[in-house]
A and B are shown apart, each in its own frame.
Chain A
Amino acid sequence: MGGFHCPLGAMAPGTEGCIHCGLCTAGTREAYAKAAEKLRAYIRENVPRPRRVEKIAVCGKGGVGKSTVTAAFARAFSSLGYRVLVLDTDESNPTLARALGLPPCESMLKRPDSRFEPAESPSWLREDLDISDIPADYLSAAGNLMLVTAGKLEDPFAGCACSIGALAQLLMLNLELQEGEVVIADTEAGVESFGRGVERGADTVIAVAEPSLDSLEVAEKVKYMAEGLGISRFRTILNKVPDEETAELLTEYLEGKDIRYLGWLGQEKEVVRHGLAGTPLDKTEDAYLKLENMLKLFLDENEMDYPL
């Protein structure tokens, strides 16, 4: 519709919607520049954007590629300029630290002072927790990329899976993130345990799925359960897809179910090779670049910047 004189859609200065920026009445170049600046500031503040992505839970069946995706997303976030905290809740293996290229970190559960009953928690783990409140001992970090491990079952007396879950969940819930900070939790949540762990504190759930009906159904159920938790931002990533035609079939399946996806990854030799070597993907490798691109698309969907 045609009344274009006002960028904000006011009919005339002083009418409904006018912020008195002065653009439409500016007589000089300086006045115009000043008005434009005021207008820009207003628009910057008022561009409708979805709630910022802060806490992502990566879910899916065991072995689908959750740790691979988590690590690549975390590194991509970090190179785009975000401060990233990776929360490892996997009780059973050290893949994540390796895939991130970070030394393994002291588990929160292995320290003597943090032996606690499921109902207790360390004193620092209070509400409105800042990332920098996490004791450095528990963190493994390089630059703006940080890893905290919520527990390993190496020491059978250190705790049970339940307390690990409780601790990780508390951390996820209590963290109060600043703009430019994100948390990505690598979960063990299949359908059985979904909703009992870190995903409770998440604003985004990413389900990794393989090209099997089983895996797709898990994604579907997880979406349903995430919605039940009030998490409407749900995305799927398809992993280990043999070829493009299969990818097409899979994405059509997802479209039919109204499940949004970020992209797909093939059977990637590099992933296997790095997995065996215990090293992170090279940032120039195809698999990494594809995942990085998926992250960028996801940020675009949420009207979020790449600060770097």
Chain B
Amino acid sequence: MGNVLTVKEMEALWGGPLPEVEEEYRILAEGFAAGRPELAPYVMKKIFSYPEAKAACALPGTAKEAAAACGITEEEAEKLLEDMAVRGKIMKLADGYDRITNIAFMKDYYFAQAKFDGEKDRAAARLMIAWDAFLPGRSVPDGTFRIVPKWKSVKALPGVMPCENMPQMLLDMLPDRIAFARCPCRAAWSIAETGEYHPEMFRGETGETGQQKDGLCIIVGPRAGYFASVYGAYVPTREELLEKIEHIENNGTYYTANNGRMLMVMCNCGDDCGCGMRILYEAEGPQGFSKSRFQAYLAKPEQCVGCGTCERTCMFHASVQVKEGKAFVDPDRCHGCGVCTVKCPRQALKMKLVRPADHIPKMPG
């Protein structure tokens, strides 16, 4: 797709001839800072019903204000707004409601909750992904996020920093700064392609079933409470979190986090995980993502049997490949996620520290 979508492309995304778009949708679309301006009103139209759009246009504000603007009763407005908040279309604040003005967030919020709306959601997902595609791949500055290695693969090494200990950072979020949800990126992608959520179409043994509790999306920090109360994200006990960590430490996804010393956001990504990473892949490789400080290497050549598990599980453009019966890691490509190390059935691969502490910025940029 080019930088500006053709009508034909937009029709394909919409799923038919483009309809008339009411003024309210244009107003809502203007609130979005960036993206594909030509697509924005259609995304809005797919997501918001007309009464919803009218109420959303009155935001930020209270139900009372929205009621006045729309000529409906306060109870009606309250119900409309509450429903939109729960569906991830708008945000609920302590003293009212507000619009969401970033498509990536809206997509996350929209697909983080459990209900679906069939074909309508399918088109919405298609549109949001197409819009999103325009955003993160090219506009996330280099080094905004960072690959964090599987803890198992580095925990014994000298020099591992606290911000590289994902299990501990997650445990530190207990009891109320952590919640599990179905992965909205994968959900959006799956729904866009099939109209339903098919977790089995994703690599990396996600463990996803569609239930929030089984979800691979781990929301950390203060927003976890919002996700739990508004979108029904699952708040785990310590035991459940430990179980989840054990699962993820051994599966084929890799950790990503904000590139800093303090954990503020994390993901369990894959080259197939839906939006951000997938699109980054289809472009020129993961921009916006800094490598970890580690690198895989074939520590025990004599143990390698050339089975190719490492090559199959590496999600970073074949950073490790089997050549003449032995695994070979390309140090320039390896992002230091540790997946191959964990997955090698012969424990032939190890990680080594290759970057200094200041590779991880002390302060966000």
| A residues whose Cβ falls under 8 Å from a Cβ of B | 1-5, 7-12, 14-18, 39-40, 43-44, 46-50, 251, 254-255, 260-263, 294, 296-298, 300-303
Chain B nearest CB: distance from A224 CB in Å? 18
Is residue B50 within 8 Å, beta carbon to beta carbon, of the partner chain? no
Q: Is the interface of B mostly helix, strand, loop or mixed?
A: mixed
Report chain A residues within 8 Å CB of B159: 296-298, 300-301
- Nearest B residue (CB) for A306: B357
Report chain B residues within 8 Å CB of A39: 364
**Is A5 in contact with B102, judged by CB distance below 8 angstroms?**
yes
Binds A, one of B9-17, B217-225, B328-336: B217-225
**Is B109 in contact with A3, judged by CB distance below 8 angstroms?**
yes
Question: 25 A-B contacts, Cβ less than 8 Å apart?
Answer: A1-B112, A1-B217, A1-B223, A2-B104, A2-B105, A2-B107, A3-B265, A8-B221, A9-B264, A10-B222, A11-B91, A11-B223, A12-B98, A15-B94, A15-B222, A17-B221, A43-B262, A46-B262, A47-B262, A50-B162, A254-B156, A260-B156, A294-B158, A296-B159, A303-B163
Q: How far is the CA of A3 from the CA of B222 in the complex (A)?
A: 11
Report chain B residues within 8 Å CB of A262: 158
Report chain A residues within 8 Å CB of B169: 48
Contact of B363 among A12, A40, A296 (CB under 8 A): A40
Is residue B80 within 8 Å, beta carbon to beta carbon, of the partner chain? no
**Is B105 in contact with A5, judged by CB distance below 8 angstroms?**
yes
Chain A nearest CB: distance from B47 CB in Å? 16
Is residue B172 within 8 Å, beta carbon to beta carbon, of the partner chain? yes
Contact of B172 among A7, A48, A302 (CB under 8 A): A48
Report chain B residues within 8 Å CB of A296: 159, 357
**Is A12 in contact with B162, judged by CB distance below 8 angstroms?**
no
Is residue B26 within 8 Å, beta carbon to beta carbon, of the partner chain? no
**Is B363 in contact with A300, judged by CB distance below 8 angstroms?**
no
Within 8 A of A (CB), among B115-173: 156, 158-163, 169, 172
**Is A1 in contact with B265, judged by CB distance below 8 angstroms?**
yes
**Is B217 in contact with A43, judged by CB distance below 8 angstroms?**
no
Is residue B266 within 8 Å, beta carbon to beta carbon, of the partner chain? yes
**Is B221 in contact with A43, judged by CB distance below 8 angstroms?**
no
- Nearest B residue (CB) for A304: B357
Is residue B93 within 8 Å, beta carbon to beta carbon, of the partner chain? yes
**Is A10 in contact with B223, judged by CB distance below 8 angstroms?**
yes
Q: Is the interface of A mostly helix, strand, loop or mixed?
A: loop
Is residue B52 within 8 Å, beta carbon to beta carbon, of the partner chain? no
Report chain A residues within 8 Å CB of B267: 1
**Is A11 in contact with B217, judged by CB distance below 8 angstroms?**
no
Q: How far is the CA of A79 from the CA of B227 in the complex (A)?
A: 48
Known: A9-B265, A15-B226. A2 touches B162 (CB 8 A): no
Contact of B261 among A11, A47, A294 (CB under 8 A): A47
**Is A9 in contact with B220, judged by CB distance below 8 angstroms?**
yes
Is residue B270 within 8 Å, beta carbon to beta carbon, of the partner chain? no
**Is B363 in contact with A43, judged by CB distance below 8 angstroms?**
yes
**Is B94 in contact with A2, judged by CB distance below 8 angstroms?**
no
Is residue B184 within 8 Å, beta carbon to beta carbon, of the partner chain? yes
Q: How far is the CA of A40 from the CA of B260 in the complex (A)?
A: 12
* Residue with the highest number of chain B CB atoms closer than 10 Å, among A17, A40, A50: A17
**Is A14 in contact with B264, judged by CB distance below 8 angstroms?**
no
Is residue B196 within 8 Å, beta carbon to beta carbon, of the partner chain? no
**Is B108 in contact with A9, judged by CB distance below 8 angstroms?**
no
Known: A11-B226, A251-B156. A1 touches B266 (CB 8 A): yes
- Nearest A residue (CB) for B104: A2
Contact of A1 among B161, B219, B262 (CB under 8 A): B219
Report chain A residues within 8 Å CB of B161: 300-301, 303
Q: How far is the CA of A8 from the CA of B260 in the complex (A)?
A: 12
Report chain B residues within 8 Å CB of A297: 158-159, 353
**Is A11 in contact with B162, judged by CB distance below 8 angstroms?**
no
**Is A301 in contact with B222, judged by CB distance below 8 angstroms?**
no
Report chain B residues within 8 Å CB of A2: 104-105, 107-109, 184-185, 265
